[in-house]
């Protein structure tokens, strides 16, 4: 058996905390080499070595591949669980990105607290990743490539093989005569990574034999630069970010140097579970930061929307399409609104003496709040009450017959006060997000 991989992993294990180990095992050559080598090391078995196999359901042979993985792990006496996932591409994501998202979501959900998930990524994968990031216009953070260690769910994601080549892992597999899955999608050059792997990088290597070494050297420099910049933009983030609202000060963000502005924006978005924008969308955000008072620009991209309102940046998940003729009877029970918000009463057990009809804004609505001598337009009330534009569309309007008696929990008419007094409770609106 080839000893290079074994000695490399033994040194790697000795240098990290004694966390439980779980291998993301696809059945391909790279993860096969990783799992088999770990299974030979008592230090790995002592950490509860186990495996997870993700079945994406994208190929007719995927059930057979799952069976292969279970048999291989059984032969090694390593526990293995198969995770069935559904790859959603309807949101505009490409197949590669959608499958990766489904895979990591499933793997993260299966990790135990403090457990480390090991992936078989190697130095050739790293070179491909850096080139893909370069072609997509990434900055120092992206050009730094994949991190060897990063948080994932309740544990950590660890790539212990980034110093080894694809060829070295293949030599381990061949020496041990290990059986591996041959996924035909890995040869499909319509996929960006495969195009680089099978056509672009081989051409580069013919002219520049040390291309991979040079790419990885540049990636290390970019990673170091990104870490140095991080100290600065994290300090700026603390100054610009309002923890109460989750928003950023727009003008001060725009005033930052671009090298700080872009990673700060990505950090903010990712912390809110949202994807980063493209270069063109970033430029649009910057242009819209100078919008005139009274305007509320919104920049949308797949998986996110960014609003500029009251001089601040607000990032949200995309709002669902809402039918303006939606309505529902309500007597005080928790009512889920079309955008995911909730209308309820301050007393969960209270009920209204008669049902109210909950509707959404259609335009032109007016209400005379209790104690006010004038009838007010909702448009004016929303502006005065600082209701964000993205919340107004699904703000619940409460009607008794054809009379508007309450606008969520913000403005209530005299008749509305009387109705809620009988219930000994008041309305409570929890906006979506």
Asked if 187 and 194 count as a contact pair (C-beta separation under 8 A), the reply is: yes
Q: 309 and 410: one domain?
A: no
CA distance linking residue 104 with residue 280, whole number of Å:
28
Same domain (yes/no): 150, 193? yes
Same domain? For 297 and 368 the reply is: no
d(CA 208, CA 214): 9
Q: Any bridge partners for residue 312, and if so which?
A: 249, 309
pLDDT of residue 91: 54
pLDDT tens digits, residue range 292-342?
776 789 999 988 999 999 999 999 988 888 888 899 999 999 999 998 899
Please give the backbone phi and psi of residue 71, each rounded to the nearest 5 degrees, phi first. -65, -45
Q: What is the CATH number of the domain that holds 110?
A: 3.40.50.620
Same domain, 16 and 104: yes
- pLDDT bin (cut points 50, 70, 90) of residue 1 is low
Rounded CA-CA distance 172/142 in Å is 31
Alpha-carbon span 374 to 413, nearest angstrom = 11
Q: Provide φ and ψ at 81, rounded to 5°.
A: -120, 140
Asked if 101 and 60 sit in the same domain, the reply is yes
Same domain, 62 and 187: yes
| Residue at 111 is within a domain | yes
Mean pLDDT (the chain, rounded): 91
**Distance between CA atoms of 181 and 408, rounded to whole angstroms?**
57
**Domain-located, residue 220:** no
In a domain, 234, yes or no: no
Determine the structural domain holding residue 248 and report its residue range.
Answer: 243-316
Look at residues 199, 214, 229 and tell me which one is the last residue of a structural domain.
Answer: 214
Both 362 and 272 in one domain: the answer is no
Q: What is the pLDDT of residues 127-157, one digit of tens each?
A: 999 999 998 888 898 999 999 999 999 999 9
Strands 116-118 and 155-158, by their bridges, are: parallel
381 and 263 part of one domain: no
The pLDDT of residue 38 is 98
Question: Quick one: 130 and 8 in the same domain?
Answer: yes
Q: What is the pLDDT averaged over residues 197-202? A: 89
Assigned domain for 229 exists: no
CA distance 7 to 90: 45
120 and 32 within one domain: yes
The DSSP-derived string for 361-414 is --S--EE-BTT-SS-EEHHHHHHHTT--HHHHTT--EEEETTEEEEETTTEEBH
| Other Cβ atoms closer than 10 A to 89 | 12
* The pLDDT value given to residue 93: 57
pLDDT band at 92 (very low <50, low <70, confident <90, very high): low
Enumerate the H helices of 136-255 as residue ranges: 140-143, 166-176, 192-195, 201-207, 211-240, 250-255
Q: What is the CA radius of gyration of the chain?
A: 28
Do 293 and 259 lie in a common domain? Answer: yes
Higher pLDDT, 185 or 252: 252
- Is position 283 within any domain? yes
The reply to whether 230 falls in a domain is no
Residue finishing a domain among 193, 214, 235: 214
Same domain, 87 and 181: yes
Closest CA to 6 of 39, 48, 29: 39
């Amino acid at each position: 058996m080839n000893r290079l991989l074994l000695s490399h992993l033994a040194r790697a294990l000795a240098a990290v905390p004694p966390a439980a180990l779980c291998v993301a095992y696809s059945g391909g050559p790279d993860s096969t080499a990783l799992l088999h080598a770990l299974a030979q090391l008592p230090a790995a078995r002592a950490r509860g070595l186990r495996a997870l196999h993700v079945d994406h359901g994208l190929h007719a042979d995927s059930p057979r591949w799952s069976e292969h993985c279970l048999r291989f792990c059984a032969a090694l006496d390593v526990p293995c669980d198969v995770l069935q996932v559904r790859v959603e591409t309807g949101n505009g994501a490409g197949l590669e990105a959608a499958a990766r998202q489904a895979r990591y979501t499933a793997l993260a959900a299966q990790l135990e607290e403090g457990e480390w998930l090991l992936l078989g990524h190697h130095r050739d994968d790293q070179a491909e990743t850096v080139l893909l990031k370069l072609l997509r216009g990434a900055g120092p953070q992206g050009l730094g490539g994949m991190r060897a260690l990063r948080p994932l769910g309740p544990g950590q994601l660890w790539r212990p093989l980034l110093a080894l080549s694809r060829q070295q892992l293949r030599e381990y597999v061949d020496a041990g005569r290990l059986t591996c899955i041959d996924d035909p999608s890995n040869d499909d050059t319509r996929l960006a990574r495969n195009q680089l792997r099978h056509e672009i990088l081989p051409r580069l290597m013919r002219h520049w034999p040390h291309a991979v070494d040079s790419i990885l050297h540049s990636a290390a420099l970019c990673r170091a630069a990104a870490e140095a910049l991080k100290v600065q933009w994290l300090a700026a983030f603390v100054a610009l970010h309002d923890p109460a609202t989750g928003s950023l000060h727009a003008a001060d963000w725009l005033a930052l140097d671009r090298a700080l502005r872009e990673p700060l924006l990505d950090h903010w978005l990712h912390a809110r579970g949202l994807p980063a924008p493209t270069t063109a969308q970033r430029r649009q955000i910057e242009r819209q930061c100078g919008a005139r008072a009274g305007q509320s620009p919104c920049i949308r991209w797949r998986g996110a929307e960014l609003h500029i309102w009251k001089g601040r940046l607000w990032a949200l998940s995309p709002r669902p399409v809402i039918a303006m003729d939606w309505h529902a009877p309500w007597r005080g029970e928790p009512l889920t609104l079309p955008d995911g918000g909730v209308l309820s009463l301050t007393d969960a057990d209270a009920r209204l003496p008669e049902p109210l009809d909950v509707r959404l804004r259609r335009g032109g609505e007016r209400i005379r709040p209790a104690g006010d001598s004038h009838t007010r337009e909702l448009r004016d009330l929303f502006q005065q009450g600082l209701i964000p534009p993205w919340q107004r569309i699904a703000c619940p309007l409460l009607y008794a017959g054809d009379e508007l008696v309450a606008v969520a929990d913000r403005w209530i008419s005299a008749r509305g006060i009387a109705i809620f007094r009988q219930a000994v409770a008041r309305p409570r609106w929890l906006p979506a997000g």
